[in-house]
Structure 1
Amino acid sequence: MAASPTPRPKPASAAESAAGQALAGWWQRHGHTLPSGPLAVAFSGGADSTALLHAAVALGHRPVVALHVHHGLQSAADGFAAHAEHTAQALSVPLRIARVDARPEPGQSPEDAARQWRYQALAQLASEAPAAAVVLLGQHADDQAETVLLALSRGAGLPGLAAMPERFERHGTGFGRPLLAVPGEVLRQDLRDAGHAWIDDPTNTDPRYTRNRIRHQLLPAWRGALGDAVPALARTARHAAQAQRLLDELAALDAQQVGLPPAIAALQTLSVDRQANLIRHWLRQCHGVAPSAAQLDALLPQVAACTTRGHRIELRVAAGFVVRQGGALHYTPSV
């Protein structure tokens, strides 16, 4: 009697997939704080956003809408939009498409230009009736690891090493990243097992982009020498984010004593490290700018030396200046 063939494991449903489990966990942490409205998924048609779209539909807690940004940067963009329409139709999910010209300005990197246009377009699409409660993004653990390595290459501090938060707000719209702990290959394998199609953006292999060089050159070399770096780097990001939250809490406590904008005499009573932490907090929270390490190194001695009424402080930070006005520091944007 011939042996029966070994049955293949049944493909996991979208709710049981790694993306489904990650989204369910994200919803448990954040869903109760969201306003009413559908869940919007930023849907490029790639593997990560495809897995997330299927997971959002399977979650079933809110109606789902797919948002697609046509960047107009390559001839394949029309095919991406057509694929997005086909997938959304198959899932009975409404699709909203924004067409933008994401070409960079002089001196601006293509990656930064595309990112800024994408967030603006997604926020605009999400605001359309009925307004979405949140826009879900498909960045996963590999993307988080690449972001940490980018930050390390630039000598970033804790905010940079914390990489991408799992929830944030931009252009008046809430965004969420439920998949930050899920490796990209796990998402793709789930899609293959379920028979779901996705598209690959050819620019993802273009070595002109720093992130692609990290993805295709640096991370494979790391794996060859030390094993899989993605879980460790993603864990580093979580540790850095936790440490940064503690520093923000400390800055908020110090701000109650020093005031915002910081009173110089009160600021001088803090240790130098707490002065630096409070100044970073003030500039980030109140003015949306981040001083470099060199700028802080130049500013702190000026604060320490400011003991007379006529002492002048003026230091360039981002597109403006930190100056002394009366007994406090102020930030003056350049006109």
Structure 2
Amino acid sequence: MPPRTTALRGFLEHALQSSASAASTPARPASRRRAGPRRARRLRRALACAVTITGVLLTTAGTGHADPYAAPPAVPTMAPSTLDARFGIERQAIEQALETAHAVGDRERAKALGGLLQPGRRFLYFDPRGRGRAIEVVGDLTRAHRVAVVVPGADSTLSGFDSKSGKPWSAPGGGARAVYEQARKINPSPGLAVVAWLGYAAPKTFSSDVLTDERAGQGAVELRAFLTGLNQVNPEARVGLLCHSYGSVVCGRAAMAGAGSARDGWRQVTDIALFGSPGTTAWSAARLSRTARVWAGRGATDWMEDVPHVRIFGLGLGPDPVSSRFGARVFDAGPGGHSDYLAPDSRSLSNLTYIAMGDPSHVSQPA
């Protein structure tokens, strides 16, 4: 068995044994009223560990088939004068990828690409290879006072860019549009642009990659590069990062690398929102930033509560961002589950939109 697999097995089994042991510990008589919910949470945590172990150990290597899609074309550096050219080049790349999808019989990808070519949609980056990457802009990037960057989590793919499991808001593009439309409900002229940033190779939920920050480290480099380009396009805009699930690990790694930097676009970041987060690898919100507001929220029925928030020998993603010891500003994420944070008319969408708009006074706290 490869060393990494052995280490993963040991880590996961240790977490499972710890959770199962905690679940079976008798409650003290004085806290009998609360023992039921606690025990149920511990049992869910043990089950979550067991499912993760099974998924990781059953993960297999790729098929090795050659990728039929073309590499992304060369594009000009991001600047106000080059945006239209980039939008045009990327649209042509999407059209070419759609032709390839039809030629190879990739119906799911073809359907998704057809949606990306709807009139008015603008992409700053597009790569159809593998599970795919794309960066879309909603709103006027050059004139915006605020820019929200939606960083999605595990299982984010090009085929699911607009909708996942029938929920448009749970996908990068659909989520970005949900934030933009909510902002327009709050203020018809919000001065906000929203970026759907699938600029990294998001891991699969049931894979060894999701238990480490390796993919996040690669994504953090790309996110920082994008923020540098954004600074060149609009140096006056202030940025809010909306980081979902494993995307919060990407934001965490980028934040720890960019905190205090005045050389790239990181100085524009005023807010970092972590929601449905498994951890960031940081031990506290202060490690992420001493200037930006760090927010955290989790829906009442989000299964992420049951994931062990530990970090041992590089495995696991660290403390729970909504815990008091982490030190983030906790916002009310409502009753929803892991894929519901940007659902229309939800408390979580309202609060995340206020965070995106740089309006902390309207962000509500949990009851």
TM-score (norm 2): 0.25
Q: Which has the larger radius of gyration?
A: 1
Structure with bigger helix share is 1
